[in-house]
Structure formats: structure tokens, C-alpha cells
Amino acid sequence: MEPLSWGAIFAKAAMQFWPVWAAMLVTFFLSTALKRRLGLYGKLFDSTVGMFGFGIVTFWVFTAVFADQIITHDPLAQLSGMKNALPGMAVKSPAEGGYPFYLFGGDSLARDVFSRMVMGARDVLKIAPAATVFAFMVGVTLGLPAGYFGGKLDTFLSFLANLVLAFPVILLFYLLVTPEIVQTGIPVIFAAILFVFPIVFFTILFNSRFHMNPAKRNLYVGLTLALGLWAYSGLAFNADPVGLFSMDPNLLNVFVSVVFVNSPGVFRIVRGLVMDIKARDYVAAGQTRGESSWYIMLWEILPNARGPLIVDFCLRIGYTTILLGTLGFFGLGVSPESPDWGSTIDDGRKLLAIFPHAAVVPALALMSLVLGLNLLADGLREESLKD
Amino acid sequence: MLAFVLRRLGVMLLTALALTFIVFALTNLQPNLEKLAKSEASVRMSDDAVRAWLSENGYSGTMISRYGQWLGVLPGWTGATADGTATGRCVERGVAAEATPRFCGILQGDWGQSTVFKKPVLDMLGRALGHTGWLMLAVMLVMVPTALLIGVLAGMREGSKTDRVLSTAAIATTATPEYVSGVIFIALFASATAGISPLLVEWGWLTGRKTLFQGTATSAMDDITFWNFALPVMTIALYGIGYIARMTRASMTEVMTQQYIRTARLKGVGFGQVVMKHALRNALIAPFTVIMLQFPWLLNGVVIVETLFNYKGFGWTLVQAAGNNDIDMLLACSVVAVFVVLLTQLISDIGYVFLNPRIRLS
């Protein structure tokens, strides 16, 4: 069979993405129809930049969700004769009912670049948002008291945060994400410390709100503790009695390192916001009413700091994606088979000057996702300032 | 002012100590030492042999004492081999036992021996930093003027078409990490089969070579030319340009709404004059801090770009050292990195005070 022309390649690739287009259409239709009732999310559809960013981000999210339907070949399968195949090349001896083309070409191990790129989206979007959420939990739980109480606690925590921030990220990764470190059990200790923060956060959150109403308090705090400790035992120590929560040691190491690198940044932002907001009148009113400090921090200050925090959250997911790519680029942590974008760029760069497609495709994918997140953050910032 | 600088220097020293200790602890973990022993002596050593090698080479003491030795505040370890020759941290071949110093850490100027390159760390580091220095200089020369120009042009008239185009471009460059832009640049400009180079050759615009730029910067270590140095410099600068430009734009738009700008306009001063004479100086205070704080970021970019373009500078050395657990080299690299980060923070704080008379430190 003849190789495809560039137009045909993109047309066929676009057709392969049909579940994504359908899902995006539904999302946009529903969101624009209901945008007056959806708060900040709805207002996003008033800003061109924000909508554009949101479009790119939803594209990748749905790609990750429907990856199994989109891929044309098994991302790990090596087909004979397709080594470094150019984009649009027909598969030499197609299997019965198999897809007849390598849309974006083959890599140096004769795997389909298109399918690997699509599967890579799933790999990246599985880790980056979750790691960012954990980093936020750590940063918020420590940043609130540091900013609110100040004093020795603040000095100490700020020193620790600056310590981590002064580390060149790559050096830290090279030290933390190695097979030797997994042997020593340090990632498990890190996980044990970092994964406690979400539980602490939600326990304090509910306790400070409902401590006057023991029935409700016991329900919420009990639920948090039960669910939290269950997930905690599985994720951190791989000791979940039911076996629902578990994490591969290498993945855990990558995850923990990324959370660790990200949380001081969140801490600094939260601390700064709290120091600004705590001088407001409604905080003074809360203090006069005799509210507990944690109630004021979590239920009065935090909701009022949400604008900048949401913006930072979007930016930080992009930054985390870049960090994960950096890890892959240096061949750290994830398995060499993994189709995540950083590793595929690293694989592809060895033959970059001759067969650029293997590295350029994941590079463009990563860039567009981060760009989408940045545009989304910009749109959110613009809209949240209009209040 | 003096008290402030002294206090900052104190914190810096404490941070540097803590950071080097962390690096020291992480590189000296038991599995890392075992790997080192196996790579230095023989791959098929038994566990006992590994232990013996480690204690013979001074790796058996406690972590704290070895850190003290590296730092030079504790006397170096001494021992003897089976045939009675004295060994020790400070022992050098050809130096008599009486002349051997007791202390030999970085405080005495002894940075140790690189196990990967088989050379003194100081020699390697000096050469690597020299290479990186040229790269950084070129990056700064490209990045700072471009970023400031874009930022000022965009922030001059907020909301105009120029502003929108330039701001979006700035966001796009901050969304492009070095390993992505580097890969795209190489594919576009330095590939003989893809991008624009084959086209240029076909049209006869490019003679004597096959590609517009060179995809590796190895030759730039001896002789820097536009041909071999443009891509690495562009790759690092691009990421920073967007960031600094956005900061400059924000600061410029704020200044342009100030009363004194309106007064100047109403007085009849031309727009160009207002921007150049009244707005620019005030608008450049914030970007100065940002440019200074950009250095740690550049450090990251340098590591990626030097690996990608095979330019044997500081970043390349760091990757080699980290990949092979070259303890002394890695520690030296982290000392350099930490001091770059902390010094730029200090300079940005002090510079801020000089530029902005409204800030008082006391």
C-alpha cells in the first residue's frame, strides 16, 4: 500500500479521536447552556483565552479517558519492518482487522508513535493532577498556620521550604529517584509523611466546623479517618487489607518526589495569601466571636483565598507535567517501556536529526497540554478578578 | 543594611550546610556505597569483600564524622593496608607521612577526586564552569533585552492588539520546557531530512553545509560560532523570555496607570518620551528581581540543554556525576548550585532596595 499524504494522515488521526470530539461537544454544549449557573467555571466561557485553554485541556483529559478506543496499535507491540517508519507508512504485514497504517510513524523499536502518544496522555494525566492535589494538601495544611500564627513555627517552616526550593530540581530527582533509594525504603518514609496531610487536613476541616454538633462531627470525622487510613495503608505501605489501593514502588517514588518538590511552592503562596487576608475585618470579627483559630483559617480565610489558589493549581499541574517529562527525559523512575511523553522524547532524541517524528510528536503533545493549562489559568485569573 | 546582609549571609551558610549534608547523606546511603565499591573494585565482589573495601577506603565511619571530614572540620581518616602502607583521606602518593596534613576537606581547598573522570574535582569543575559561563553569558545577552522589549511593548498599551499577540506568545514560550523546544529546534533547523534545512539547500541558499544550525554543541567547547551555539542558547533563552516578559508587562501596565504618567501626558509630553523617560525606570524594578531569581531556573535549563546538545559544561558534569554516583563531584556540583541560588537571592534583595527607594530594610 502507498504511504499516506500529510492531509490524509491528519484526517485519519482526527477520525481516530472521534470519542474525544463527541465528549468535548457535549461538554461545551452543556457548559455554555448552563454557564450562568456554574459560577467561576461558567464564567470561563466568557473569556476567549480561557475557553481555548479549557478546550485543549479537555481534549487531553478525554484522550486519556478514551485512550483504549483511540489507539490504533498496542503501544508496546513491535511490528516487523516498521522501525523508524515515516509518518503515514502502511504496515508491512497487517494482522487481520488491524489498523493498516502507522499514522505518525514508528519509533526506533518499531512501535507506533501515535498510539504511544495517546497512551502517554493517560500516563501523564494519571500522575500530574493527583500529585498536584497532594502538594496542595501539604502546602495548605502547613501554610495556613505558618501565615496565621507567624513566629517560630513560621520561621522554621519557611526555612524548610526555602531549603527545598534552593535545591536544583534535577539534582534532587537524581538523588531521590534511583533504584537504590527504593531499596533503602526512603520513599515509603516520605510517603508516610506526605500522605498523612490530606487526612489531617480533612479531619481538622470537619472537626473545626462541627465540634459543637457531636453527631455530625463523629460521622464526618469518622468517615474521613476510615477512608483516609484505608487508602493511606494501601498507598504508603502497600498494606491495604482489601487490596484496592496499591502503588508500584517505582511509581510511588516518582509520585512522592514530585509532591515533595511541589509542596514548598504551594506553602509559600498560601502563607503569603493568609498573611494578607488575616488583616481583614471579617477575620477580626471571627476572632471576637471566639471562633477557634483553625475554624478561621479553614472556613474563613481559605475560601477567600480560592481565586489565586485555583489559578496556581492550573499552572502547577502544567509545571508538574513538565517535571514528569524531565524525569522521563533523564530516564529516571518510570519503566523504560512506559509510553509517557518524557521517556518517549528521550528515546526519540537519539535519532533526532534523521527521524525527528518519534520525538517531535510527544514533544508537541506535552507542549500543547501545558499551554492549555497556562491559558486556562490565565482565563481563570482574568474572570476571577472581575468579581 | 549591614545587619540585614549579615543575617542573610548567616541563613545562607546554614542553608548551604543543611543542603550539602542532605546531598552527602543521600549519596552515601548503603546501597549507593555498595554500588560504588563494585564499580571501583570489581563487579563480582561478595558482600564481605564489599564491606572490607568500604572500611579500607574510609567509608565505614558514621555519616556525621565523614561529613565532617569532607567539610574539613574533622581530621581525615587514616588506616593501613595489609602490607603496612599508610592510607588515609589526606594521604597522597609521593608525600611523606610527616608532611601529610590532618585535615583535608573543602575548607582546606581539597574537593576530592572524581571517580568517574579520574581527575581532581576542582579541575573538572573549573573547566565545566568555564564552558557553562560562556553559555550563560550568551543566554543573558539574548534573553534579557528580548524579554524586556517584549514586556515593555506589550505593557505600554494594555489590551491593544500588540499586547494580546505578545502576551499569548509569552504564555506559549513558558509552556515549552527546554527538552521540548530543544527537540523541536533540532528537528526544524538542524536536521538534514526534516524541517527547513533541506528546503534551503534545495533553493541554493545554504552552501557548504547540510543544515542551517548544528544539532550538537560539542565543537563549541573549543570554538564558539553562531552555527554551533545558536540552538542551545535559543533553547534556554526561550523559556526565560516568556516568564520575564510577562513580569515586565505586569509591572509596565501598573506603572502606566499611575498619576504621574497621566500628568506627563496632559502636560503634552509625547507618548514615546513618557515611556522612555517616565515609565521605564519604575517599570524595570520588578523584572530585575525576576531576572535574578531566574538564575536557579537557568541552572535547570542548562542541565537539560547541555545533555541534549552534548556540551560538556556544568550541567553535563552534574548528570554524569549523578548517574554514576560520583560522590565528591556531586557534592561539589551541589555546593556550586546552592551558592548560585542563594547569592542571586541575596543580590536580588539588595538590588531591590537600591532600585526602589520606598523599601527600607530596617
Domain borders along chain A are: 122-317
> What is the widest separation between alpha-carbon atoms in chain B?
92
pLDDT classification of B67: cutoffs 50, 70, 90: confident
Of A180, A326, A360, the CB nearest to B184: A360
| Higher pLDDT pick, A287 / B59 | A287
Q: What is the pTM of this model?
A: 0.88
Pull the grid cell for residue A316.
502547577
Q: What is the mean pLDDT of residues B116-140?
A: 88
Q: Which pLDDT does position A212 carry in this prediction? A: 87
A316 to chain B nearest CA, in Å? 11
Of A168, A183, A329, the CB nearest to B296: A168
Residues 6+ apart with CB under 8 A from A191: A235, A236, A237, A252, A255, A256
DSSP H or E run through A386: none
B145 to chain A nearest CA, in Å? 24
CB contact under 8 A, B31 and A360: no
Q: Which pLDDT does position A42 carry in this prediction? A: 80
Radius of gyration, alpha carbons of chain A: 24
Separation CA A54–CA A44 (nearest Å): 8
| Higher pLDDT pick, B329 / B359 | B329
- Nearest Cα residue to B47 out of B69, B30, B29: B30
Q: Is the pLDDT of residue B97 over 70?
A: no
Tens of pLDDT, residues A85-111: 788 788 777 766 677 788 888 888 888
| Arithmetic mean of pLDDT over chain A | 87
Q: Name the amino acid, one letter, at A40.
A: L
Q: What is the mean pLDDT of residues B16-30?
A: 86
Residues 6+ apart with CB under 8 A from B264: B273, B274, B278
- Max mean pLDDT among A16-20, B216-220, B338-342 falls in A16-20
**DSSP symbol at A37:** G
Query: Lowest-pLDDT range, A164-173, A247-256, B95-104, B161-170?
Result: B95-104
Of B299, B307, B342, the CB nearest to A168: B299
Number of H helices, E strands in chain A: 19, 2
Residue of B nearest to A326 (CA): B179
Assess contact for A136 and A81: CB atoms under 8 A.
no
Pull the grid cell for residue B313.
559544561
Mutate to test the interface with B, among A352, A361, A382 (most CBs of B within 10 A): A352
Task: Give CB contacts under 8 A, 24+ apart, made by A181-185.
Answer: A181/A253, A181/B26, A181/B29, A181/B31, A182/A249, A182/A250, A182/A253, A183/B31, A184/B29, A184/B30, A184/B31
Q: Is A214 exposed, middle or buried (0-12, 13-18, 19+ CB in 10 A)?
A: exposed
Q: Is the pLDDT of residue B41 over 70?
A: yes
- Helices marked H in chain B — which ranges? 2-27, 30-40, 47-56, 63-71, 121-156, 161-174, 178-189, 197-203, 226-256, 259-267, 271-273, 280-283, 285-308, 314-323, 327-355
| Higher pLDDT pick, B109 / B147 | B147
Residue B81 CB coordination number (10 Å): 9
Residues 6+ apart with CB under 8 A from A81: A92, A93, A110
First to last CA, chain B: 7
Residue A241 CB coordination number (10 Å): 8
B114: three-class secondary structure by DSSP: strand
Q: Is B36 exposed, middle or buried (0-12, 13-18, 19+ CB in 10 A)?
A: buried
Q: Is the pLDDT of residue B220 over 80?
A: no
Separation CA B331–CA B337 (nearest Å): 10
Interface check for B165 against chain A (CB to CB < 8 A): the answer is no
Q: Which pLDDT does position B210 carry in this prediction? A: 72
Q: Is A279 exposed, middle or buried (0-12, 13-18, 19+ CB in 10 A)?
A: exposed
Q: What is the mean pLDDT of residues A189-215?
A: 91
Query: Lowest-pLDDT range, A233-242, B65-74, B198-207, B269-278?
Result: B198-207
A139 to chain B nearest CA, in Å? 20
